[in-house]
Amino acid sequence: MAPEVSRNIVEILENSRQEFNAAAGVVAEPHAKTRPEEGRWSVLECVEHVTVVEERFLSRLEEAPKLDSPRIDRQKEAELLVRVASRTNKAQAPEAVRPVGRFASLTQALEQFNAARSKTVEFAESRAAELYSLSAEHPRFGVLNGTEWMMLIAAHGRRHADQIREVRSALAQA
């Protein structure tokens, strides 16, 4: 992988991290557990979900087999960035990654999110040369290479940053 492509992946991941932290980090601890209405997640629950998903995705990628030849599909990468980040289509989170109160506070949850994202960035940097050769199945998007997984991870954080902003807005109006 060309160094500029690797830098671009890291930049996308870091921008997603920054956006996510900006959305969640301004919420006061007492409001972090407040749900805007029945059936909607609190800010803390959003952060928990994103953190758990990122840890699971990275684990899957760390164990991914390496293909004999790289598979590059820049259009799929771009589509994942847009499609996953969009909140137009709502999706139910699988049971394993739904919030269950894993974190006692928003501060703790954000620390864990940032630790997970740091591991993801480190993985992207250290394994940059083989990202296009890694291959793992996603239950919704099918077989993805390592770069596509990185786009999915970044877009997932952006999607839930939007959700957190929606929650904050709903709480402010209540």
How many structural domains compose the chain?
A: 1
> Please, are residues 152 and 77 in contact by the beta-carbon 8 Å criterion?
no
Per-residue pLDDT band for 5 (boundaries 50, 70, 90) equals low
Which residue matches tokens 């890291």?
Answer: 10
Residue 100: CATH number of its domain: 1.20.120.450
- pTM comes to 0.94
- What does the block give as tokens for 93? 């989170």
Q: Which residues of 116-130 are buried (b: 16+ CB within 10 A; e: fewer)?
A: bbeebbebbeebbee
Q: Which domain holds residue 35?
A: 3-173
pLDDT confidence of residue 90: 85
Q: Which residues of 144-164 are buried (b: 16+ CB within 10 A; e: fewer)?
A: bbbbbbbbbbbbbbbbbbbbb
DSSP secondary structure of 78-122 = HHHHHHHH--SS--PPPGGGS-----SSHHHHHHHHHHHHHHHHH
Each residue's pLDDT tens digit, 115-173: 999 999 999 999 999 999 999 999 999 999 999 999 999 999 999 999 999 999 999 88
